[in-house]
Amino acid sequence: MKLLRYGPLGQEKPGLLDQDGNIRDLSGQVADIGAATLGDAGLDALRALDPQSLPLVEGTPRIGACVGQVGKFICIGLNYADHAAESGMSLPEEPVIFFKATSAICGPNDAVEIPRTSVKTDWEVELGVVIGKTAKYIGRDEALDHVAGYCVVNDLSERDFQLHRSGQWVKGKSADTFGPIGPWLVTRDEVPDPQNLAMWLEVNGHRYQDGSTRTMHFDVATVISHLSQFMSLQPGDVISTGTPPGVGMGQTPETYLKPGDVMELGIAGLGVQRQVTEAAE
C-alpha cells in the first residue's frame, strides 16, 4: 500500500493511493497515518479494504508529510563510503546517530526555507524508515519485522551551522522545513529489499546525486538493531538512513542552495519530491 496525508498544513487527512494514482480518503477508517495505524494489525485492516469503495479525493490537494505525530526523527550520518569521503570524514566503526527536530518536518512539495544568516544550505536524498512496532534490544535478524514502511526524506542541512557553530549537528539539521517526508509511506510488503533502491536528486535540472541503497555502510536492519540498543523505537518514529555522494558540500567548488532553486528527488518505488527554496522571513 501507499499511504499518505493530504490537505492544508496542520489539517491533513489520511489517504491511500489507489492503483490508478488517485487519492482515496481514509478518514472514515482511521484518524491519521500515525502510531495507532502503523502496527501490523492496523495495516492489515487497511489492506483488506477495497480502495474503490473509499471516497475519491477530487483535484490536486497539498500532500503533507506521510506520517503524523512523529515521536522521534532519527538520522544516521556518514552511512555511504563515498559521501564520508567527500565530506572529509572517516567511515565510522558504528552508526553515527543524530536527531532532527520534529518541527523540521514538512510535506514533500512544500517550500523549503533557507535560514536567516545561512551561507551553506545543502541537500541530501535519503531512505526513510518508519517504525511500526516497538523495538527494544532487538537483533538484526528481526529488525525489519518492526518496520511499517519506507519513504523519501530530504535531510536538508546548513553546513556552517552543523560544523562550525559548536555542539552537535542538530543546529544545522533542524530549521523549519528541513525535513520533507513523503509523498507516500510505502508499506514494507511492497519493498522486498530496502538495500536495492535507486535514489537521485537534482537541483535546477542538474543531477547531483545518483546512487543506490546498495552502497550503504550499515544496512537498514543493522541500523534499527543498533538504535534499539540505546533507545526504544516506537511506532511512528522515522529513521533517515544516510545519503549517497553528490551533496553540495562535496562539489568543486562547493555549491549551496539559494532562494528560487528547485530541488527534485526520488527513490525507486517510493515517489518523488519537489521543493522550491525561499528565504526565511
Question: For residue range 136-182, what is the model confidence (pLDDT) as tens digits?
Answer: 999 999 999 999 999 999 999 999 999 888 878 899 999 999 999 99
User: Closest Cα partner for 132 from 122, 121, 143?
Assistant: 143
Q: What angle do CA 175, 240, 243 make, to 5 degrees?
A: 90
* Distance between CA atoms of residues 101 and 205, nearest Å: 29
Residue 213 pLDDT exceeds 80? yes
Residue linked to cell 526555507: 113
User: For the chain, how many residues are written?
Assistant: 281
pLDDT of residue 166: 83
* Distance between CA atoms of residues 145 and 132, nearest Å: 9
pLDDT of residue 146: 98
Question: For residue range 70-81, what is the model confidence (pLDDT) as tens digits?
Answer: 999 999 998 988
Mean model confidence pLDDT for the chain:
96
Residue at 191: amino acid letter:
V
Model confidence at 267, in pLDDT bands (50, 70, 90)?
Answer: very high
Residue 85 pLDDT exceeds 90? no
Cis peptide leading into residue 183 (ω within 30°):
yes
Residue 210 pLDDT exceeds 80? yes
pLDDT of residue 120: 98
Task: For residue 83, give the H/E element and its range.
Answer: helix 81-86
User: Closest Cα partner for 180 from 281, 274, 41?
Assistant: 274
Residue 87 pLDDT exceeds 80? no
233, three cell numbers: 523505537
Q: What is the mean pLDDT of residues 197-210?
A: 98
Residue 59 pLDDT exceeds 80? yes
Cα 130–chain centre separation:
9
Rg of the chain's alpha carbons, rounded to an integer? 18
164, three cell numbers: 562550525
* Distance between CA atoms of residues 235 and 139, nearest Å: 18
* Distance between CA atoms of residues 257 and 112, nearest Å: 10
Is residue 51 within 8 A of residue 16, CB to CB? The reply is: yes
Q: Both ends of the chain: CA-CA distance in Å?
A: 38
pLDDT of residue 84: 76
Residue linked to cell 495495516: 43
Residue linked to cell 541503497: 213
pLDDT of residue 243: 96
pLDDT of residue 167: 77
pLDDT of residue 52: 95
Residue 54 pLDDT exceeds 90? yes
Q: Maximum CA pair distance of the chain? A: 54
**Domain 64-279 architecture:** Alpha-Beta Complex (3.90)
* Distance between CA atoms of residues 159 and 178, nearest Å: 12
pLDDT of residue 58: 96
Q: What is the mean pLDDT of residues 173-198?
A: 98
